[in-house]
Chains A and B, each alone.
Chain A
Amino acid sequence: MAVIDFIINSILTQASITIALIAFAGLLLQRKPFGEVMSGSFKTMLGFLVLSAGSSIIVGSLLYFGDIFSEGFGMEGIVPSIEAINGQAMNDLGLANQIALTFLAIFIFNILLARLTRWKYIFLTGQALLWMATMTTVFGSAAGFSGIGLILAGGLVGGIFAVAMPAIAQPIVKKITGTDDIALGHFCTIGYMFAAGIAKITGKNSDSTENIKFPKGLGFLSDTYLSVAIVMVPLYVVTSIFAGAEFGTELSGDVNYIVYAFLQAVQFVVGVYVLLSGVRLLLAEIVPAFRGIALKVVPDAKPALDCPVLFPYAPNAVTAGFITTTIGTVIAMFVLPWFGLAMILPGMLTNFFAGGTAGIFMNAVGGKRGVLIGGIAHGFFITLLPALLVPHFNSLGFVNTTATDVDTVTAGLLFEWLIHPIMNLFA
């Protein structure tokens, strides 16, 4: 009895160990050699602990930012970062085990739905699935699910998104690629379809973006970490100046308060870097295992691949979509607070990948004019949806941050607006 108690209370409550055990089981199921099973399980545990370390760095930096923003502007400034949401949910809310199991449940529901329905899509972008698992677990838990029910509800909703989103995008993907063999697996699809709709209406007979000559030298903006720094550094520094030397020094101690703000901004970037390294380690063992099994069970499946799969078809549209989406997010940052919503700061990482891919969608249906108008609308849209989630995140204890990737945000809103009230009826 004492041994069982020890296993349940001291080992299985440690998320890093449980996640390693999940990887262990997955690798055993694939009949991998014992050495690979052990190294895979250990790397998974290491990945989780690295992720936790990154999350702590991000939270520390965000707490500081929240303080100076409130002092400087008398309101909340929210940093959109799905990485930060994932880190806080795993670390601080104690949902790591549930997220890992929901992640596996989404895999399984995806395979089942692809096998049984005519939506033959297997979602192969592991990171996006982890973000989806995070959101369905956080909001499923807030809606009142727990235990196996939470994992099944999150897995089912996530699994439906995993087949439905590629299916919704497929008509335009087919138009872009000229083939029906591959699909898009990126959880920003609702935004792409919204942007394409606007572009179709506004961009009739407009010329393609591929005839534009873009100046070289914007590349540095699309570098993953540099682009985050480009937004965060000025934001922290300017905010600290508004908060004033007296308040700033209270937090910075002996260090100059502006230099301290600069270093805190860089700390945020470091946090994202560390967290994403952890995620890569964590997924490196689990995702290949799933993909092999999924594509064996559904051999005629269409693989839904990450968004860069579309980049070669319209590289100029990627740049144009990135720029116009960024303009839209900046406009939304100032406009949304008028309507009583939080001020959401532009997330350059999302702007690049989601904006760039939306650019390809918009160009396919509305050319240059479509990308210009649709892109601004897209930027507004992908800021508005996360803003709607902010009060819910606040009540759940998340620090100065909100989710990105509109499909995962939509899954959160689905739980909050639809499933939660239904659960309340039966409670």
Chain B
Amino acid sequence: MPFFKRKKKENDAKSEMQQEVKKEHLSEQIEEYLSKLENAEREDEIPILNMLGSLYFEMEDYDHAITYYEKSIDQNKALGKAFTDLVKLYNIKRKEASKAGDRETVQVYLQKSDDLMKLTKDTIRGNM
């Protein structure tokens, strides 16, 4: 049995290291896209904002992910990854608040989900 335990520990250490390397790589990418965003014209910003949202989501930095995705949707209400990721992000934040017993924040994220549903309906109507 100790043998298995050791192996598990080794595996944990390995995956922790992998995580760190991944996070470093993601941070580098984020830096790169942030500087792209600074120099971008307004009409070219949307793919960069979506990429930043996606990278922060992968980093598990949910607040920043939400900020960039919301900025992207503000500029262009096209249905796509920004919409679908935001639903997941709001749900994650709602769940965290729920576990912490923070009723106010639960309501905030439920309201954000509602607004997103409404936006989805309106966007579909505009797109048809």
Binding site for B on A (CB under 8 A): 124, 177, 179, 181-182, 214, 216-219, 221-223, 288, 291-292, 295-296, 299-300, 303, 305-306, 308-309, 311-313, 315, 318-319, 356
Contact = CB atoms under 8 A, between A and B. Distances in A.
B124 A318 contact: yes
A214 B126 CA distance: 13
B98 A315 contact: no
Contacts of A214: 128
Interface string B62-101: 0000000000000000011001100110011011001101
A315 B79 contact: yes
Most B CB atoms within 10 A — which of A179, A292, A303, A312?
A312
A292 B106 contact: yes
A74 B124 CA distance: 40
25 contacts: A179-B88, A181-B91, A182-B91, A216-B128, A219-B125, A221-B128, A223-B125, A288-B110, A292-B110, A296-B101, A296-B103, A300-B95, A303-B94, A308-B117, A308-B120, A309-B87, A309-B117, A309-B120, A311-B79, A311-B124, A312-B80, A312-B120, A313-B84, A315-B79, A315-B124
B127 interface: yes
Contacts of A124: 110
Nearest to B82: A312
B18 interface: no
B124 A308 contact: yes
Q: DSSP majority for the A interface?
A: helix
A222 B117 contact: no
Contacts of B94: 295, 303
B99 A299 contact: yes
B91 A303 contact: yes
A319 B128 CA distance: 7
B22 interface: no
B98 A222 contact: no
A291 B125 contact: no
Q: DSSP majority for the B interface?
A: helix
**On chain B, which size bracket covers the interface?**
20 to 34
Given A303-B91, A313-B84, A288 B117 contact: no
Nearest to B95: A299
A303 B113 CA distance: 10
Contacts of B101: 296
A124 B123 CA distance: 21
Given A223-B125, A299-B98, A311-B124, A292 B87 contact: no
Contacts of B120: 308-309, 311-312
Contact of A308 (B80, B88, B107, B121): B121
A70 to B, nearest CB: 36
B116 to A, nearest CB: 8
Nearest to A214: B128
A296 B99 CA distance: 7
Given A222-B125, A223-B125, A311-B120, A291 B110 contact: yes
In the complex, the 5 A-B pairs of residues with the closest C-beta atoms, listed nearest first: A312-B83, A312-B79, A308-B120, A219-B128, A218-B128
A305 B115 CA distance: 12
A292 B111 CA distance: 11
A292 B103 CA distance: 6
A296 B106 contact: yes
Given A305-B117, A311-B120, 14 more contacts: A181-B92, A182-B87, A219-B125, A292-B103, A292-B106, A296-B101, A296-B106, A300-B95, A303-B110, A308-B124, A311-B123, A311-B124, A315-B127, A319-B128
